[in-house]
Amino acid sequence: MKSSILLNTFGLVQLSIAGYVLEDDYSPSSFLDGFTAFSGPDPTSGFVKLVTMDEGKSTGLISAGSTSVKLASDSTNVTPSGRPSIRLESVKSYNSGLIIADLAHMPGSICGAWPAFWTIGPDWPANGEIDIIEGVNSATSNSMTLHTAPGCSISNSGQFNGLVKTSNCDINASGEGKNVGCQIAASGSNTYGDSFNSVGGGVYATEWTPQGISVFHFARSAIPADIASGNPDPSGWGEPLASFQGGGCDYSTAFKNQTIVFDTTFCGQWAGQQDVWSSDPVCGKKAATCNDYVQNNPKDFAEAYWEINSVKVYQLGDSSTPAPVASSPAAPPAAASSSLAAPAAPSSPASAVPAAPSSPASAAPAAPSSPAPADGSSYATTASMPPLAEPSSTQSLNPAPAIVSPDAAGDEYEPKGGYESMMAGWTTTFAPGGMAAATPAPQRVKRMEDSLSKFEKEEYKRVIDSLNEFESRSPVGRHFRHSHGHRRRQVYA
């Protein structure tokens, strides 16, 4: 009994403090399988010929090595009909998440070039657009922009280090140019083009939640260790480059079904605008128009390529990943009130966790039926709970090996004891009367706590300290505190 309680308690902490978990990994070996090449007319009216995936591979504009994927533009031929280039779009779309792109190189600060790393919904502008990296011509600093339908704007919280250029995200906003959107310009160095490439590239991380969208940038030498280790925690990254928040915008409805896009176009509606071209201190002196320059100077586009080490998409582990369920021949009744659980994320077949087959050798013994708590509530648990035994001085912290839980690959955990093993792969639920996975009634909690050894009580304290830290550091933690914190304090006070 006590082992089961401790296991579920530590599992709760693991689920809460896990934060972001990997949903999709677009690494070089499989990158191109997750993207399609758009080869129709450029929607931005660029002086470009977007090629198919097969054309890109056969001409060397698309190539995948062991450590990176390269998306290039033609740098050999004079191109009267537009310069051949690439636009890749992810097969999968997203409705939230943390998108982390590790880039060894992006198209340089080249006259006529208009590269972008961005996301877009299928019904534009109703489903929104998020421009993560974008610039034109000889620019050396990044411009981050949102494009939406009416009703979305941003406020300047001052909690980011970029500069707000425009605040209304509506593509038809009064007083702004056509399709300008709400834009934040990077104020730091090494964020775009030649300056980005000069330090070996780096990482862009975009966090998208219902409360807002933040864009972080890290030069190659300053990439946080948690990103490198695959355990990203934005709460420890400091101020973002840009933070789009407030202004009455609901970021869960203004942005939907976003696909990830890498492209390099030329001239068009931004880089090719005559006033933009002429006012550029470098490009305006090279040719009368953007199209003339792009057509006749192929060698100048040798650096107009993306070199992508990886793109990884993470989701919050306690909202997007279904909770593991322990194999058990019997289960107690479900919790009476669903309002006690955190809201579930929309179902996603790609991110769902397959259930592990029941294993007779590892199945937990069935719990005998027991009456509902005296207060009229019911309770739920992820593992069968044997009858409460009287405390024994020989009881240990090690969970019974019969208790198992599936992970995302369908494997099973068999905890062997100790703090780390109890942290792995477990969850719990809440219901009236206290922590449901621990006990069906307060008197049982009291009896259990009286039987704990000094070491076990110290471990409980570590659990609660970890929860408190988590709750103070992230939006999910604050939601958890609001929804469940009073029950934990009731149980452990």
Cis preceding-peptide flag for 125 (omega within 30 of 0): yes
- H/E run at residue 103: strand 97-105
Q: How far apart are the first and last CA of the chain?
A: 21
Nearest to 460 by CA among 449, 475, 476: 449
Contact 334, 378 (CB under 8 A): yes
Alpha-carbon gap, residue 84 to 48, rounded angstroms: 6
CA 266 to chain CA mean position, Å: 30
Residue with tokens 């100077």: 297
Report whether 331 contacts 384 (CB < 8 A): yes
Helices (H), 237-381: 268-271, 274-279, 290-296, 317-320
Cα angle 388, 392, 395 (rounded to 5 degrees) comes to: 90
Give dist(CA 455, CA 471) in Å, integer: 25
Q: Tokens at residue 330, please? A: 């019997």
What is the DSSP code string of 195-245?
HHHTTT-EEEEEEEETTEEEEEEEEGGG--HHHHTT---GGGS-S-SEEEE
Please choose, from the candidates 200, 195, 48, 204, the residue with its C-alpha nearest in 3D space to the C-alpha of residue 109: 195
Q: Is the peptide bond before 401 cis (omega within 30 degrees of 0)?
A: no
Q: How many CA atoms lie within 13 A of 7 on its CB side?
A: 28
How many whole angstroms separate alpha carbon 270 and alpha carbon 112? 10
Instruction: Name residue, tokens 């922009």.
Output: 145
What six digits make up the tokens of 464? 């609660």
Length of the chain: 493
| Angle (CA) 343 349 351, round 5° | 65
Q: Residue 117 has which token pair? A: 């790393």
- DSSP for residue 467: H
Show which residues are catalytic: 129, 134
Distance, in Å, from the CA atom of 20 to the CA atom of 381, rounded to the nearest integer, reads 24
CB atoms within 10 A of CB 86: 27
